[in-house]
Structure 1
Amino acid sequence: MSPSFYQELLFASRRAIRTIIPDLHDRIPVTWHTAPYPFIFYIPFIFMAYLARRPDTYLIRLLLLPITLCGIVAAAYRFVWTIPELNVYNWGQCLLAAVTIAKSVEYAFNKEGMLKVGETRPGEMKGKGKGVANGQTHPDVRRGNHYIPSGLYDAIELMHTLRGLQWKFGQGVHIPKPTRPLERDKFLQATLVSFIQNCLLVDFLESAIKLFPGVGSPMGGSMFYPDLQPFWRYTVSTLIHMLTGSAILSGFGMVYDLVTLIAVGCFDSSPSSWPPVTDHPWCADSMHALWSRHWHQLLRQTFLVLGGYPGKWLAGDLGMLFGTFIASGLFHECAMYSMGRGFDHTVSLFFTMQGPILVIERVWRKVTGRRVGGLFGRLWVYSILFLWAQPMVNAWHRRGLGGGMVIPPFLSPARLLFLPIVHNFLQLSLQK
């Protein structure tokens, strides 16, 4: 009996998906010879960013979108890091893919293009080139590097901006107050010091996590050790959880400092365009405050495009809230799929639950007339971050997150000094 139309459609769809996202054993290993190929797949995205800053390009951006999305997904999922310690890089390149997919969709469907604050059309400012962004008045910051064509510079700036400072889509984003001098040379010095500090901290935390059996292995392992008594089991898991969270925060700072040094030092970007990446997240006294102000806002627009705006179209403001956090959960988990360890929607569930949690805070305010805050609010936030989030972090560690290499061992002061000292101390303790 010949297959039905539905069966043929399913077969064809699967073949089409596997052409872009092959099975793990059919993917291309990343080597020095194959490493340039993923960058080639991003060329349509670069062209899309260029067109988004050119007027009257709406139709061509729409036509370019399908090939742009296919190229981004292929770059992320067709090429694989095969060294176990580098498996976590597969996660990283797929996180990057999700961000660029959201950017591409936004570039394509914004009919007028991507505008800066105060622009009427791309590159055409009204008044004297000043506008209000994020509650503050900013001058239109122009580049000082005249060796890069203006169109290419515009595309580079648009591709790399995440919070959207001085861009129309970034209005309303919370921007932390500057903590570094805004004079260029002093700013670069302070950023370099911060970069070194964050590197050392990431190195120490990464090395400490690798001391835990299983968790510190590239193959992964649970941070809930079943052989321990419950008190010690959850004490150890909480310690690993805190080390992981601190490593993620310092990692954000390290990468952000490096990009800041390149942008300001090499491309003459304005120091005022590079405020702190987070705003004291440990000081948050409500989950609303954490997600809207204290936590980094680098992925805010990504989650709005992928989930928030479709959710608002379906169910208004409540749909926007839930859609944003659903997109956040899928963002983290679908990228983890690239590590070849399957799906674990514990991660998706944690982020999805942030929607109901924020609704609970709103209900609390309506019932009591007071916002969640103070000591009670701080304990509420810490209970969610330190207790409820542990299954999510455990899902990451079981698939090898803690065994990934961030700082190469030959550049690691912690690996060269800290780990040998701990190893010798443990050996002496066992001999006694």
Structure 2
Amino acid sequence: MGIFDAFNPYSFCGFLANLNGASPEGLIPDGHIPSVADRIPATRKVILTEFVPVLALLYTLAVLVQLPSTRVLRLSVLVAMGMLAWRVSTRHDFNGSDEPGYNWISMTVCWVMTFQMLRATDFATTTKPFVRERFSWHPPNAPKDYTTQLKGALLNAFDLTFNARGIGWNWGKGIYIPPISDSARKGPIDFLVGHVIMQTFFDFIMFAQQSWDLSPSKYPTHRHGGTIFDPDLPPLWRYGKVIAITAICPFVIYTSFQASYYLMGFIAMTLFGQVAEQWPPLFQAPWLATSLSDFWGMRWHQLFKRPFIVCGAKPAARFFGRAGGVLGVFFISGVMHDLGVWGAGIGTEPSSVTLFFLMMGVGCVLEGIWREKTGSKVQGPWGWLWSMVWWVFWGSWLVDAWARRGLTTSKMSADVARPALYWVHVVQRWVELHGQPFK
């Protein structure tokens, strides 16, 4: 089946009508929407006729959003893209193997499809054209309105499709970009070295996360997963283990994103002539955050900020004010991550995944109330402690949901490409030569 098979009004309308209905799949209803068990393996044909067209439709929106008087056409493209993205996410299994550790691939596909639909909604509904104010591709003697003409829009749409922070675009001015320090990486070789370093750190941190034993759970659990809450341990050790596993997880995400970002920056500079200024830092030492607002608003990556504001903050703020807008951002974030989790195999889990992000919003609202009542921001050592306690407490629910789906044991690299496993061989050899230490 190809692109035209996605235009099934029964599947699309059934999803909208039953989104909040209870079912074994969590947020994902039964009926016309297939269960995870009914997915069929994705083939090369599926990738070419369904997955790639989703990106092509996003590119089409990226072209149209630069041109005047295209809103009706953009909304039509949005509907088509939504139907196809839903089909790609729910009908096909992208894992490529039944062995444990590969369900992160289908999870990533579901997550990416959801995020691109949020971006597409932004592209389709905005009332002002997007304008590329810096780094635009155009001939030396091009007219001033070249970027709003079709040819200029076609060229700049390639950047817009992958530029989640709006760097160089008029719509990106409200997104915080960490400053470029003197020690920042400034060339393709620097970015390649950064990728290798971050990929190595990622593998060792992932190895540390995978070294913990997981326990059987009374909650829905993938056959390759388990809970981080070990009922056989004394309370002190049990929750110490939970805190350790939860604390490791953001470093896995941080190094993974950084490694991918450096690699994409290297490719963009090498093949497409981009400069380091178009690839500013992605994070700003998130472990130094002294409040939840500081963590989520500045120090963590801001790749998702614009669509979360458009799809979450603005609608919620219209009815519930500023606090509602904050909660709306985190609610949309939770839904996006929850739909991604569905792809891992046993349905969504709003009571853990969406709840984590929603409670991050609650924490930010509480910080705002504190500032109004006391006249001072949450900051300093006590602010850091507050942020870490709040994050780890609610984060343990999120990490447990991932662990029960087997995601903490994901195989994201072949064993032969894992430096941590080579180090294990070194340690094993040392033990063979010198015996067990700490006897």
Shift of 1:187: 1.8
- Distance (Å, rounded) in 2 between the aligned partners of 1:42 and 1:188: 26
Letter in 1 for 2:48: P
Pairing 1:162–2:167 present:
no
Which of 277, 282, 296 aligns to 1:272? It is: 277
| TM-score for both structures, normalised by structure 2 | 0.82
Bigger Cα displacement from structure 2, 157-166 vs 9-18 = 9-18
Counterpart residue number, 1:5: none
Alignment deviations for residues 178-235 of structure 1 (CA, whole Å, 9 cap, x no partner): 136789xx522221111111010111112222222338x9711111222111121222
Which of 393, 407, 411 aligns to 1:387? It is: 393
- Distance (Å, rounded) in 2 between the aligned partners of 1:322 and 1:408: 40
Shift of 1:429: 5.2
CA contact (8 A) 1:20 1:73 kept: no
CA contact (8 A) 1:20 1:77 kept: no
Counterpart residue number, 1:241: 246
CA contact (8 A) 1:144 1:268 kept: no
CA contact (8 A) 2:231 2:238 kept: yes
Which of 67, 70, 81 aligns to 2:94? It is: 81
Counterpart residue number, 1:409: 415
Counterpart residue number, 1:126: none
Alignment deviations for residues 325-374 of structure 1 (CA, whole Å, 9 cap, x no partner): 11111111121011221222212111111222122112212222211111
CA contact (8 A) 2:122 2:307 kept: no
Return the structure number with greater relative CO, CA threshold 8 A, min gap 6: 2
Counterpart residue number, 1:209: 209
Which of 55, 60, 65 aligns to 1:52? It is: 65
Q: Residues 156 and 18 from structure 1, CA distance in 2 versus in 1: closer, same or farther, beyond 3 angstroms?
A: farther
Q: Residues 313 and 368 from structure 1, CA distance in 2 versus in 1: closer, same or farther, beyond 3 angstroms?
A: closer
Unaligned runs of 5+ in 1: 1-8, 118-139
Letter in 1 for 2:370: W
Q: Residues 296 and 419 from structure 1, CA distance in 2 versus in 1: closer, same or farther, beyond 3 angstroms?
A: farther
CA contact (8 A) 1:180 1:190 kept: no
Counterpart residue number, 1:141: 135
- Distance (Å, rounded) in 1 between the aligned partners of 2:424 and 2:32: 44
CA contact (8 A) 1:58 1:113 kept: no
Counterpart residue number, 2:329: 324
3-state SS in 1 of match to 2:189: helix
Alignment deviations for residues 384-415 of structure 1 (CA, whole Å, 9 cap, x no partner): 22333212111111111112111221211212
- Distance (Å, rounded) in 2 between the aligned partners of 1:207 and 1:420: 15
Letter in 2 for 1:334: L
Q: Residues 367 and 58 from structure 1, CA distance in 2 versus in 1: closer, same or farther, beyond 3 angstroms?
A: closer
Counterpart residue number, 1:333: 338
Bigger Cα displacement from structure 2, 34-43 vs 167-176 = 34-43
Counterpart residue number, 1:342: 347
CA contact (8 A) 1:205 1:247 kept: yes
Letter in 2 for 1:100: Q
- Distance (Å, rounded) in 2 between the aligned partners of 1:218 and 1:422: 30
Unaligned runs of 5+ in 2: 1-8, 17-28, 141-150, 216-221
Counterpart residue number, 1:373: 379
CA RMSD of aligned residues (A): 3.1
Letter in 2 for 1:115: V
Shift of 1:145: 11
Q: Residues 11 and 398 from structure 1, CA distance in 2 versus in 1: closer, same or farther, beyond 3 angstroms?
A: closer
3-state SS in 1 of match to 2:349: coil
3-state SS in 1 of match to 2:340: helix
Pairing 1:27–2:35 present:
no
- Distance (Å, rounded) in 2 between the aligned partners of 1:192 and 1:97: 28
The alignment covers a number of residue pairs equal to 397
- Distance (Å, rounded) in 1 between the aligned partners of 2:34 and 2:105: 18
Shift of 1:35: 3.4
Alignment deviations for residues 260-301 of structure 1 (CA, whole Å, 9 cap, x no partner): 111122111221111110011111111111111111111111
Letter in 2 for 1:90: S
**Percent of pairs identical after alignment?**
27
Counterpart residue number, 2:144: none
Letter in 2 for 1:368: T
